[in-house]
């Protein structure tokens, strides 16, 4: 069984999906989402505080440990384009490499678009294939 993990870091959440490679495609084994609201801070200061970087690294450590339990062979971290515009983005990447021991790759726009489309397709399969689908709103 070959397993892979994709971790997406966004301005409002961090999500990890663990996939199992099958003969006819991939199957989602686990999906974990942690809320992390850094949009306001990044928008006002155009940089991320050390406290928020530490919090992100803590979440990524937990996700990394869980992926080890599944025997994940390859992990990939994807940042939303929002992060590319902040001043201390290289520092964030260094923190993740040092504290979490996860490699961070720069993904060009075409590959990110492709991965995003695949994610939407898998999400639609998950939502529409189940008899009971629910929609939750966070009204904070």
pLDDT digits (tens, 9 = 90+) for 24-36: 878 888 999 999 8
pLDDT digits (tens, 9 = 90+) for 69-91: 999 888 888 888 777 778 888 88
DSSP per-residue letters across the chain: -EEEEEEEE-SSEEEEEEEEEETTEEEEEEEEEEE---HHHHHHHSS--HHHHHHHHHHHHHHHHHHHHTT--EEEEEE-GGGGGSTTHHHHHHHIIIII--------HHHHHHHHHHHHHHHHHHHHHSSS--------
Mean pLDDT of the chain: 78
Indicate the pLDDT class of residue 60, thresholds 50, 70 and 90. very high
In this model, does residue 93 exceed pLDDT 50? yes
In this model, does residue 64 exceed pLDDT 80? yes
pTM of the model: 0.71
């Amino acid at each position: 069984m070959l397993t892979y993990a994709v971790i997406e870091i966004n301005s409002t959440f961090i999500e990890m999906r663990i996939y199992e490679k099958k003969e006819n495609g991939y199957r989602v084994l686990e999906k974990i989402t942690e809320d992390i609201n850094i949009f306001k801070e990044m928008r006002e200061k155009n940089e991320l505080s050390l406290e928020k970087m530490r919090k992100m690294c803590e979440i990524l450590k937990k996700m990394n440990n869980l992926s080890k339990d599944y025997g994940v062979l390859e992990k990939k971290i994807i940042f939303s384009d929002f992060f590319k515009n902040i001043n201390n983005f290289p520092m964030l990447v260094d923190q993740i490499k040092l504290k979490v021991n996860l490699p961070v790759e720069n993904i060009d726009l075409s590959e990110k678009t492709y991965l995003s489309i695949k994610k939407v397709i898998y999400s639609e399969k998950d939502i529409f294939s189940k008899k009971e689908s629910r929609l939750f709103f966070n009204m904070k």
